[in-house]
Chains A and B, each alone.
Chain A
Amino acid sequence: MASLGSSRLRRGIAGLIGPSDGEGARRSKERPFALASKTLLFAAAVGVASFFWGGRGGVDQATLWLIFGMLAVGVDVWWGYAGLLSFGHGVFFGLGAFGYAWITTGSLPWFSFLGQTPLAGALFGVVAATAMGALVAYFLSYGRVTGAYFCIVTMALSFLLAALAQGTPLFGGFTGLGGVPPLGIGRFSSSGGAAMLAIVAVTLTVAVYLLRWLLNTNLGRVIDGSRENETRIEYLGANVPKLRVMMMALSAAVSGLAGVFFAAHSGYVSSDLLGMGISTEAVIWVAVGGRMTLIGPVIGAVAVRAAGYALSGVATSFWQLFLGLVIVILVLVGGNGIVGLGRATTGWIRGKMAKKPAVGKAPT
């Protein structure tokens, strides 16, 4: 029995950078509508709860957490489904945020023809993030960089870009760029509050719906294959590097859109957004919420951020320690975060109710 613990640990760690244990893949064909409904319900519940808890300020906090949730959904597309752990999604988040800030504040003379509307800014931010994602994936996929090496390269990229940005006036150097306008069309603008929360929640829901739909197609099957056994799928005829460039572009687009929302919501962008801090935290959100679930990352981001917010008042110095402990436990138990726990529990209850053993074994 002593070996059970160590094999669990090994699987937990391998689960972070290797193929899944099959549990997620087996449930991979959830209906897009059902998942999107759950996402919307969750976002709405978070919004309402935050209002009763902290009024308008609470709602603004909740909006921020949902934006982080969207960043984490981007990470899940790449880490969960393509199976490569990225510590560099801050780069796409940051580029989305800066892209929006540059256009709306008119800091890019070359692109002044786009105007300074929030819509143009949002478009530019998403395109910049997507292009960066495709570029990074192009070199890493065709260069056959996988596994732990992929983690290290993306981490280095994030570190490098944040450092570069700190010394570049265009990125506002150390102080960052302020005065970024909120989202809006024509005369209407949403400066925080319930409107912004609704925009973020609905966009997140649509994104989850579309991603789930796409992953249910044959494309999703081939991506499953590229994650589970890269060599095998190539000998079956799949063009893995091309698939990965596409997936990374998609993942970066979602994370970039989150960056756009962040810039519009907070009105301020800085080089921290590109850095390793947020990149790493996004990975933690996915791990806490549940990998390969799309909704898990949203739950994880809200849970971790809300817990941090609630605890920071009473135990500022213990917060990071507590977060670290959660990660260690997750790796040791090797489960699939909150969503995995929820599924295991409902499976167990259903098994009890039916008075016969549960069909799906609970993930260990």
Chain B
Amino acid sequence: MSILEARDLGIRFGGLWALKGVNLSLTDGEVHGLIGPNGSGKSTFFHLVVGRFAPTTGEVLYRGKALTRLSPSQRARLGIAIKFQITSLFEGLTVAENIEIGIVGRQTSMRQLVWGGSGRGGPSREDNDELLELVGLQDRRNDLAGNLSHGQKQWLEIGMALATDPELLLLDEPTSGMGTEETRKTAELVLRLKGSRTILVIEHDMAFVRQVADSITVLSKGEVLTEGTYESVKDDQRVIEAYLGKGRVRDAS
């Protein structure tokens, strides 16, 4: 059964269709890559899923349920979590507090929030440590999130998203601005999560995509160009043209 399904999804900003007639379906438990040149609508697709924008046409279904009328927080409570392209953290709070907020953020009942303290249904120190270790930030737990390096901020945001225990995790360029070693660690993290959650990842680093993604959707100018495995997509003439421009001869690697 598909966990996420976009049907004829489109959004128009002024005269520009940022996305048009997009159909996309995610299988439970897969890691799906969303690639395409800059401006092809990848991030816009994420924003439509989490509810930052409302679609002009079509709809997004989550486990068969239409999301259109739900607010971002309601969608998050259904089990959708996102790491934004530009990291969005609680920079004035510590790393551990960021994770803690991720854990309790989904709770909306006042009874649970007020009485569910540490060890009483609330987040325990162990939950927190486990997540910090997963994203490799256990040594920075008492530092302000704002003082982390660019790569560490991205990991923290992934950790925060994971703290909500999501079924569907959206990662918007998790390795942007990272060095080789950091990218390798991020790929390792995604591979560790594989199977337990469905992951949709936007990424420009093709080696990374090849490593983690089970299947790939290529967007270009707001429309789905093609879909398939990495191997089938990489030699597709249309994909090469979309990335490099028609008639240009350049080595893709």
- Using a CB–CB distance below 8 Å, which chain A residues touch chain B? 19-22, 25-26, 214, 217-219, 221-222, 224-225, 228-229, 231-240, 242, 246
Give the residue of A222, A236, A246 whose beta carbon is less than 8 angstroms from that of B164: A236
> Is A233 a contact of B50 with CB atoms below 8 Å?
no
Of the listed stretches B1-9, B69-77, B196-204, name the one at the interface; the rest are far from the partner chain. B69-77
Provide the B46-87 mask, 1 if CB < 8 A to any CB of A, else 0.
000010000000000000000000011100110001101000
Cβ–Cβ < 8 Å partners of A233 in chain B: 90, 101, 105
Besides the known contacts A217-B113, A234-B72, 10 further A-B residue pairs in the complex with CB atoms under 8 A apart: A19-B92, A21-B92, A214-B114, A225-B90, A225-B105, A229-B90, A229-B91, A234-B73, A235-B81, A237-B106
Find chain A residues with CB under 8 A from B94 CB: 22, 26
B148 within 8 A of A: no
Complex contacts, B92 vs chain A, CB 8 Å? 19-22, 25, 228
Q: B91 touching A228 by the CB < 8 A rule? A: yes
Question: A221: which B residues are within 8 A, CB to CB?
Answer: 97, 100-101, 104
- The smallest beta-carbon distance between A303 and chain B, in angstroms, is 27
Q: Is the CB of B73 within 8 A of A239?
A: yes
How far apart are A364's CB and chain B's nearest CB, in angstroms? 14
**Inter-chain contact B89/A237, CB cutoff 8 Å:** no
Residue ID in chain A nearest B90 by CB atoms: A228
Whole-angstrom distance from the CB of A172 to the nearest CB of chain B? 38
Bound-complex Cα distance A228 to B104 (A):
15
Cβ A25 vs Cβ B97 within 8 A? yes
Within 8 A of A (CB), among B98-115: 100-102, 104-108, 110, 112-115
Neighbouring B residues of A235 by C-beta, 8 Å = 50, 72-73, 76, 81-82, 84, 88
Alpha-carbon distance A20/B144, docked complex (angstroms): 12
Closest B residue by C-beta to A19: B92
Within 8 Å CB of B110, what residues of A? 219, 246
The reply to whether the CB of B131 lies closer than 8 angstroms to some CB of chain A is: no
B interface residues with partner A (beta carbon < 8 Å) = 50, 71-73, 76-77, 81-82, 84, 88-94, 97, 100-102, 104-108, 110, 112-117, 122-123, 144, 146, 160-161, 163-164
Instruction: List, in ascending order, chain B residues with CB within 8 A of A25's CB.
Output: 92-93, 97
Residue of A nearest to B146 (CB): A22
With A218-B122, A234-B72 already in contact, the answer to whether A229 and B104 are too (CB < 8 A) is no
Q: Give 15 pairs: A residue, B residue, CB < 8 Å, sorted on A.
A: A22-B92, A26-B144, A218-B117, A218-B122, A219-B114, A224-B101, A229-B88, A232-B89, A232-B90, A233-B105, A234-B72, A236-B101, A237-B76, A238-B108, A240-B73
A16 CB, nearest partner CB in chain B, Å = 15
Q: Name the distance in Å between A220's Cβ and chain B's nearest Cβ.
A: 9
A225–B84 Cα distance when bound, in Å, is 17
> Which A residue's beta carbon lies closest to that of B73?
A234
Residue contact A218 to B114, C-beta cutoff 8 Å:
yes
The 7 closest A-B pairs by CB, nearest first: A236-B105, A237-B76, A237-B106, A22-B92, A228-B90, A219-B113, A218-B104
B117 contact set on A, CB distance < 8 A = 217-218
B116 CB to nearest chain A CB (Å): 6
Q: Bound state CA distance, A225 and B50, in angstroms?
A: 19
Whether A224 lies near B113 (C-beta < 8 A) is no
Residue in A closest to B157 when the chains form the complex, CB atoms: A232
Residues of B within 8 A of A219 (CB): 110, 113-114
B115: nearest chain-A partner, CB-CB:
A217
C-alpha spacing A239/B72, complex, angstroms: 9
Closest CB in chain A relative to B156 CB, distance in Å: 11
Residues in chain B near residue A238, CB distance under 8 A: 73, 105-106, 108
Complex-state Cα separation, A236 to B72, whole angstroms: 8
Contact in complex: A218, B113 (CB < 8 Å): yes
Q: How far is the CA of A297 from the CA of B165 in the complex (A)?
A: 39
Instruction: Using known A-B contacts A235-B72, A236-B76, determine if residue A224 contacts B106 with beta carbons closer than 8 Å.
Output: no
* B69 CB, min distance to chain A CBs, angstroms: 15
Query: Which residues does chain B contribute within 8 Å of A232, judged by CB atoms?
Result: 88-90
B115 — which chain A residues lie within 8 A by C-beta? Answer: 217
Q: Do A22 and B113 have beta carbons less than 8 Å apart?
A: no
Closest Cβ of chain A to B235, distance in Å, is: 37
What is the distance, in angstroms, from A233's C-beta to the closest C-beta of chain B?
Answer: 6
- Which residues of A sit under 8 angstroms from B161, Cβ to Cβ? 236
A236 to B146, CA, bound (A): 19
Within the complex, the shortest CB–CB distance from B253 to chain A, in Å, comes to 36
Complex CA gap A21/B91 in Å reads 9
Q: Which of B77, B90, B123: most chain A CB closer than 10 A?
A: B90
Q: Report the bound CA distance from A239 to B73 in whole Å.
A: 6
Q: Is the CB of A224 within 8 A of B164?
A: no
- Roughly how many angstroms separate A26 CA and B145 CA in the complex, as a whole number? 12
| Nearest Cβ on chain B to A316's Cβ, whole angstroms | 41
